[in-house]
Structure 1
């Protein structure tokens, strides 16, 4: 079953929002925390950026293959 354009657009928008959100978090981390804090948040940021790109790619492919597109 093909993905609807509405769902595909949502996935692309969600991926874009996630990239924006996690990049802003990376820039806004304040100094003065223990190293473990930065390691944990660095891993969270990296994993979520990968997930965001995967969702956006799935959405983009679905958008291009959706009926009416």
Structure 2
């Protein structure tokens, strides 16, 4: 993996964490419970995906530095 791709994955992961946490705090009141359940699941899945992408990017960056 190149350093550019690894850096992109790290930046993407950090951005996704910020974006989805921000969305969680900005959900307006007055929606049915199912709305919050669905969005809670979306937020949780995307946070896990963001962390996985950032870890893959971090490992790729460390390997690229070692070569």
Unaligned runs of 5+ in 2: none
TM-score (norm 1): 0.93
Unaligned runs of 5+ in 1: none
TM-score (norm 2): 0.96
Backbone CA RMSD of aligned residues: 1.2
Given candidates 6, 12, 29, the residue that maps to 1:8 is 6
Tell me which protein shows more helix as a share of its residues: 2
Structure 1 stretches of at least 4 aligned residues deviating more than 6 Å after TM superposition: none
